[in-house]
A and B are shown apart, each in its own frame.
Chain A
Amino acid sequence: MTATEALLRKTLVASGLDTAGWSTVQAGLRDRAFFMAEVERVRVLAAARKEAAAILASGKSMSEARRDLRAALRADGYQPGDDERGTIKDLYTKQRLDVMLKTNVAQARGYADYLAATSTGALMAFPAYEFIRVYQRKVPRGDWRVRWDSAAQAVGWQGVARGTSRMVALKTSPIWARLSRFDNPFPPFDFGSGMGLDDVDLTECRRLGLGDEAKAQKPPRVDFNGSLQAEVPVADGSPEAERLRSAFGDQVVFDGNVARWRGNLIRDVLDGELASADIGTGFDGQPLVVSHSALADALTARPDIPDAVPLTLGDFELLPSIWRNPAKIQKAKYNRDHLTLDTLDGGVLNLIVDPDLGVTQFYKLLKK
């Protein structure tokens, strides 16, 4: 998996939750969400993810990414509150944009690297990591050693080297997720952290007393969604389910007693993993089920619509938004509803829904 793929496997989730609130969402759910604290605008999230992906995929500079993201914010009509202006809550500020872009880029790289570093051969050759400073900071956090010892204690020193001043642990030791602010076993371990990882080979592991445990290590399980985090059961109707509904509305669905993002379901339908998915309640109070065939059709070239431009992943994830809150609704042939919604990249999404057949067309035109 490339870092770009690691980023794009996260679906857009809009919410008013702040950072602390998001930290209480189960890791298995949070892992598959692309979110920004207190950002409820899905189109803004789509633009942010697109910029982070461009940095990973094509080396787009941070400066260009910030510039283009500010343009997207203006196009969306975003204005910070009076008490937010100029602070980290102001999405226009360099500080806020840098934290968001750098964290998402680093997490995607960290994740992709973790999968490579824990492949069978890599794990046998380099069973452990050392936690080291990689980037100098003007004001480094001084408490990593304390955090390390505390995390080691909390996991019963499982896989952690003892009797050394070095911070070394086996790659599959639970200390890594425990150490991380984000519950991830890979960097970054905190916002703006300059700490990173260096692989430790088997010889060194033996010297540090980790040899036997190293031999017993197995690569971590990764599910078909590319997720390391296990899905935690959430019974529909439970207090936890109500808490999630309250924070995320119908972006969260309960699928066999497991909470999932509706956006992930749409992706699974697009990828052919699922035959269909309910994209939620629409402008008319009705649900809408989209099928794999309808979405697959949307990906193919449209000779009958010569001005159509290719749909992006973000466009498919806007399906619930265009269904729930279209910018314009017109009646089309056969009593179909023709809904449109502007995107922040200069396009107009068009969704045509037949009352009996469901989605008949989904395409994008450039704004004139």
Chain B
Amino acid sequence: MNLRLTIKPEDVRDAMPPDRVLLEAAARGMVVAVRRHLREKNDRTPPKNGFPKSNYYAEAADTARGSVADGVAVVEVGPDDPNGPGSGIALHYYGGTVRPKKKALAIPISPAVAGMWPSEATGVGADLAMIWPKNSAHGFLKDNERNELLWLLVPKATIPADPDVLPSDDEVLSAAERAVLPLLEGAS
């Protein structure tokens, strides 16, 4: 007669941490990978000529968050409301065309107005004039008092897709797996 031991799948499952705990670890692994990737991209991205560094990708990294819902681990990057208007980071990843709500998009061309919309400048009393040469594809907003061109006006802006905004799916999956493994090793 042989000695025989049997293990059923439920025996193994009972020895493992609950699914939710594993998914929390996986979600965190994904968040850590995405955040590190975005921070490294931020470090590599130089500021525009003469402009202060915008830290755009570092700020995006701060919005990265993981959650567990309906039996899956999810990582998101961007504002809390997924249906809201404002995720610039998705635009950078997927690419797309930005069209103005009003007449034109305003792109700062002077460091003095870095991160500032014209409506904010006029709100603090700036005297702005629009200059749009005939038959030109673009125009400018000028500060009359300082006689300085501050914003470039364009009818639209096309952002190319940049898959480097996020780590690859393989990298994210590996990060999730690496996060979960110690929990399995430590299961008793």
Contact = CB atoms under 8 A, between A and B. Distances in A.
Contact of A125 (B81, B123, B180): B180
B85 A59 contact: yes
Contacts of A122: 24-25, 27-28, 66
B53 interface: yes
Interface in B22-81: 22-29, 31-32, 35-36, 39, 52-53, 55, 58, 61-63, 65-67, 78-81
A40 interface: no
Given A119-B24, A201-B179, A58 B81 contact: yes
A70 interface: yes
B164 to A, nearest CB: 19
Interface stretch (A106-114, A262-270, A335-343): A106-114
Interface in A123-171: 124-126, 134-136, 138
A60 interface: yes
Contacts of A106: 62
B186 interface: yes
A198 B117 contact: no
Given A2-B80, A56-B80, A58-B79, A121 B120 contact: no
A64 B116 CA distance: 8
Contacts of B65: 2-3, 112-113, 116
A134 B79 contact: no
Contact of A202 (B36, B52, B182): B182
A55 B79 CA distance: 8
Interface in A178-213: 196, 198-199, 201-203
Interface residues of B, number: 48
A37 interface: no
B79 A57 contact: yes
A60 B29 CA distance: 28
A10 interface: no
Interface string A34-71: 00000000000000000000011111111110110011
Contact of A67 (B24, B66, B67, B123): B123
A63 B39 CA distance: 23
A261 interface: no
Contacts of A62: 115
A201 B84 contact: no
A119 B25 CA distance: 9
Contact of B86 (A2, A59, A109, A203): A59
Nearest to A92: B124
A64 B119 contact: yes
Contact of A124 (B20, B25, B61): B25
Nearest to A71: B123
Q: Across chains A and B, which 3 residue pairs bring their CB atoms closest together, nearest first?
A: A59-B86, A121-B24, A58-B84
Given A125-B28, A198-B32, 10 more contacts: A55-B79, A61-B86, A63-B116, A67-B123, A71-B123, A116-B66, A121-B17, A121-B25, A121-B183, A125-B24
9 contacts: A67-B119, A113-B65, A120-B24, A121-B21, A121-B22, A121-B27, A121-B183, A122-B28, A135-B55
